Amino acid sequence: MNVMNNSSIESLRLVDIELVASLHGRCFFDAWDPKTISEILKMAGAFGLVSRGAGAQSISGFAIARVAAEECELLTLGVAPESRAIGFGAQLLQATMTRAVVEKAKWIFLEVSENNLAALRLYKSYGFVKVGNRPQYYENADGTRSDAYTMRVALPTLTFC
């Protein structure tokens, strides 16, 4: 059974912020609260996407990004633990990259924990390469710290006839 057949990628709406914040807390130790998400979405060039199931309350994943000049920064991407490894992350990443191209970004970059092996596999499968390292950037639940890898990939350019 392909669970993704009943889902769609949509813009993150104001009414989704509480759900996304709750899901962010299930995905990351240093979770963003609704106020943080709301403030980020108010920034110039910022946008959010959700993977939505059949019901308005069924969000299985999210992506929040910001385009400035010719660059897009993927600020966060998360998928509910019970919905991982079936394509939602890839769907959200592809939709974010597509939106970045439409917004005329030439590059997309992100930071990811060195310990997030599933995310690293996903990003590498889309051509992202490591371009930097931020030592001890992320705080982990057990009190240790992890490096953040800075990664980027070139985006295709849209040409209009």
CA angle 48, 51, 52 (to 5 degrees): 115
Residue 160 lies in a domain: no
Residue 68 lies in a domain: yes
Stated pTM of the model: 0.91
Residue 30 lies in a domain: yes
Residue range(s) defining the domain that contains residue 72:
3-154
CA distances from 117 to 35, 81, 145 (A): 29, 14, 16
User: Can you give the CATH number for the domain in which 7 is found?
Assistant: 3.40.630.30
pLDDT digits (tens, 9 = 90+) for 22-63: 999 999 988 999 999 999 999 999 999 999 876 556 899 999
Count of structural domains within the chain: 1
Calculated CA dihedral for residues 44, 111, 31, 67, nearest 10 degrees: 10
In whole angstroms, give the CA distance from residue 35 to residue 17.
9
